[in-house]
């Protein structure tokens, strides 16, 4: 079977992202060592805890852009690991969807963080439906804010305006500052924080500048995070070419066969002043 690639040079794995159950997703990404939600988990948890301190309330609403089958929700709300989820779902490859959901009801019966609400946002309607039916996300929408003709209904605005923290792990590049701008329009009274993992082949500069125009400070963590192995040598070559064009040194990183991502945290100016990021992360 020939491997297809998207415009950025990434292997096209769209076939696993919108299935009626998550088994192919975990089978495929598990073999590639996919780990970016796990890598980002500690930082996201520290941001949630900081938000609770600065806003003086335990209830926190997380909007997960590109939520897929609810991976971030499982990691944060139920304190699972990605490996826990991979083992759980690949063991049910021969179980029908209804049976899988019954197993999920037991597997996700004891939330680590019951005060965390997770709102899913993904154009993959089957994946989002599964995350909702499994009880991983508390609600969601398939609205595509990248499209010019996308109209936000009052129901959309009400749902999206609840976000205290906007998260994306791995979907930036497909999602741009256009989506973030429109989310901030919905949540302008709530002033949500943001956390985005961004592959090094994508430039976050324009997005940081757009957020600055809306009163946000963006800070980049020093630590680089592995995302997954390349599917094949063709993907590796295309990504290395993209990085070279951007002037990014891939030696000892992508050149060794893995995608690497940077993590950006964006917060309103006053919040960033009141709670500096280094101290926030040092004392979660």
In this predicted model, what pLDDT tens digit does every residue of 15-33 receive, in sequence order? 999 999 999 999 999 999 9
pLDDT given at position 109 = 95
Q: pLDDT value at position 186?
A: 87
Per-residue pLDDT, 1? 53
pTM beyond 0.85: yes
The tens digit of pLDDT for each residue in 171-225 reads 998 899 999 999 998 877 889 999 999 999 999 999 999 999 999 999 999 999 9
The tokens for 127 are 């994946």
268-278 pLDDT, tens digit per residue, is 999 999 999 99
Residue 284 has pLDDT above 80, yes or no: no
Distance CA 10, CA 1 (A): 17
Q: What is the mean pLDDT of the chain?
A: 95
Q: Which residues of 53-69 are buried (b: 16+ CB within 10 A; e: fewer)?
A: eeeeeeebbbbbbbbbb
CA distance 120 to 129: 10
Instruction: Provide the 3-class DSSP secondary structure of residue 188.
Output: coil
- Distance in angstroms (rounded) separating the CA atoms of residues 71 and 73: 5
Q: Per-residue pLDDT for 118 more than 70?
A: yes
**pLDDT (0 to 100) of residue 30:** 96
Q: Are 231 and 153 in contact (CB under 8 A)?
A: no
CA distance 117 to 163: 9
Q: Encode pLDDT of 47-96 as tens digits.
A: 999 999 999 999 999 999 999 999 999 999 999 999 999 999 999 999 99
Helix axes 177-186, 205-212, angle to 10 degrees: 20
Output 86-89 pairs: Cβ under 8 A, ≥24 positions apart: 86/26, 86/29, 86/30, 89/21, 89/22, 89/23, 89/25, 89/26
Token pair for 229: 């192995």
């Amino acid at each position: 079977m020939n491997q297809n690639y998207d415009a950025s040079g990434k292997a096209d794995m769209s076939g696993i992202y919108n299935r009626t159950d998550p088994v192919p997703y975990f089978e495929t990404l598990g073999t590639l060592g996919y780990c970016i939600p796990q890598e980002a988990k500690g930082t996201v948890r520290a941001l949630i805890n900081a938000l609770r301190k600065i806003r003086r309330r335990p209830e926190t609403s997380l909007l997960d852009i590109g939520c897929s089958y609810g991976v971030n929700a499982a990691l944060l709300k139920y304190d699972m690991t990605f490996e826990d989820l991979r083992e759980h779902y690949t063991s049910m490859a021969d179980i029908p969807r209804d049976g899988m959901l019954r197993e999920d009801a037991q597997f996700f019966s004891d939330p680590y963080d019951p005060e965390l609400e997770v709102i899913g946002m993904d154009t993959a309607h089957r994946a989002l439906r599964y995350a909702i039916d499994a009880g991983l996300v508390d609600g969601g929408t398939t609205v595509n804010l990248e499209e010019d003709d996308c109209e936000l209904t009052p129901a959309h605005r009400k749902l999206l305006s609840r976000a205290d923290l906007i998260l994306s792990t791995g979907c930036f590049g497909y999602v741009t500052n256009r989506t973030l701008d429109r989310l901030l329009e919905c949540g302008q009274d709530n002033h949500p924080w943001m956390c985005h993992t961004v592959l090094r082949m994508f430039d976050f500069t324009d997005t940081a500048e757009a957020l600055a125009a809306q009163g946000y400070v963006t800070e980049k963590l020093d630590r680089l995070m592995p995302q997954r192995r390349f599917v094949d040598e063709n993907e590796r070559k295309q990504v290395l070419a993209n990085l070279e064009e951007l002037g990014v040194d891939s030696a000892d990183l992508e050149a060794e066969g893995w995608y690497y991502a940077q993590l950006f945290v964006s917060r309103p100016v006053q919040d960033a002043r009141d709670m500096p990021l280094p101290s926030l992360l040092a004392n979660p």
